[in-house]
Amino acid sequence: MLTDLGTPAGQVPLAADRAQTARRVLKSARTPESALMPADRVPPWLAEQARRGEYRVTPVPFAMLRGWDFEESGGNLRHESGRFFSVEGLHVLADALPAPGWRQPIIVQPEVGLLGIVAREIDGVLHFLMQAKMEPGNVNAFQLSPTVQATRSNFTGVHRGRGIPFLDLFLERGRSRVLVDVLQSEQADWFLAKRNRNMIVEIDEDVDTGEEFRWLTLGQLLRLLRRDNVVNMDSRSVLACLPTAGGDPEQDPDPAAAAVLRSFHDPAAPSVNGMTDIHSWLTGIRALRELDQRRVPLREVAEDGWRFSGTEIGHDSGRRFRVIGADVAASNREVGSWTQPMIQPQVPGLMALIVKRIRGTLHALVQARVDVGHLNVAELAPTVHCRPADHVGPGSEPFPPYLMDVLTAPRRRLRYDAVQSEEGGRFYHAANRYAVVEAPDDFPEQPPADYAWLTFAQLTELMAHGNYLNVELRTLVVCAYALH
């Protein structure tokens, strides 16, 4: 037994009332512009950050990774310090797989990172302090990231990096007020049970932010989310966790607008399923599906079609992903240059959420999805969560439900459609298409067993806890917020 470990975590902090926070969040969402920094100036500002610094990302053979080696015994790819992360093998047994299961490479990172946004009320409106940050995997280098984005290794010093600005506001008691603090999952086909701590803390006093940070309202961030590759995955994940409430849909003469407001801001809105229904449905899937995960030596994945070369580990089928090495130089990161393994997907994904007005409330059709790296068997995922190219050609899997509905949806039904990057610290040029598709009136309301209609307030309520919504669905919840 590991009782009484003692030191960290501190005392229970001063937190804000969730309903009150929700009302202030809505006001910020309805503030599409701020005197401090017009939203349209954000992309040029990000480009300027890129010009100010030197940065360069080069795929390199594994032999050129400094401090990283394939272990003698088993062949796991690890850092000599034992920290950061490792690429290992995962043996998965699950209902959908052949009896012996399959083995694949997976990123193992038991450390929980911190994704933290500092908030402050400026002129009566909540603003969020966003950072222009270079991530090696980004197609465009700089995107808007949380105020603090750090692995535990970053801040416990193994990284030997410079001090991380604003970290103390998240880790020290009494420096700020907690608005959001929850562990959320990351990509489950590449990570084994990875979670990050998603935090928003509020301060009352102004702070010196410097050139790499800007205060933006939620309304501005929602506008920027309509563009490709501006708001990074970590920011989307944290913002998705903001509580919602306090809208007044009865005041809105437009039924479509009222349906959105009601869905996001009224937990008691008419809904297809009550929360007890929803919990029971998900519990049933988690209880009856089989998902047995076992870490195995990386070398063993060769027996399931993975090929090792000096420059990559990829699958014979040409599908899935590749593990590669990268050499990164960046003048404005804590550490000026480094090398690391990265995951590169072979083809882009499509993450689409079908929404429909039912009983006057906008509902989202979500699936309970079982994925190889899940901590808790199943999480709620977008209606369509796949890589379309994997479903054509010889040896491909059949089309998943609703993929054709999304691919053939007329443009006017695409309420949101943009390309967004996945985490640029581990994934190289991983960008997915994210879409919110409004279903036609005759769209069937009775879904297959693994799918259910939820309101956005119900999704938001679940996000007060970890491992209910996967990271792709969290992104789509924020994107849908922009429907207001």
The 3-state secondary structure of 14-52 reads: CECCHHHHHHHHHHHHCCCCCCCCCHHHHHHHHHHHHHH
Nearer CB in complex with a copy of itself: 219/243: 243
**Integer distance in angstroms from the first to the last C-alpha of the chain?**
50
To a copy of itself, the closest distance from the beta carbon of 465 in angstroms equals 6
Strand runs labelled E in 47-193: 55-60, 68-70, 77-79, 86-94, 102-108, 113-122, 125-134, 142-145, 148-150, 177-185
Nearer CB in complex with a copy of itself: 85/215: 85
To a copy of itself, the closest distance from the beta carbon of 46 in angstroms equals 29
DSSP string of 242-267?
A: S------GGG-S-HHHHHHHHHHH-T
Nearer CB in complex with a copy of itself: 120/369: 369
AA letter at 68: W
Which of helix, strand or coil describes residue 275? helix
To a copy of itself, the closest distance from the beta carbon of 10 in angstroms equals 5
Nearer CB in complex with a copy of itself: 82/210: 82
To a copy of itself, the closest distance from the beta carbon of 125 in angstroms equals 21
CA distance 242 to 25: 7
Backbone angles phi, psi at 240, to 5 degrees: -60, -25
To a copy of itself, the closest distance from the beta carbon of 484 in angstroms equals 24
Nearer CB in complex with a copy of itself: 231/380: 380
To a copy of itself, the closest distance from the beta carbon of 361 in angstroms equals 16
Nearer CB in complex with a copy of itself: 13/161: 13
CB 214 within 8 A of CB 45: yes
To a copy of itself, the closest distance from the beta carbon of 182 in angstroms equals 6
Nearer CB in complex with a copy of itself: 26/482: 26
CA distance 269 to 261: 10
Nearest to 340 by CA among 150, 178, 157, 107: 107
AA letter at 126: L
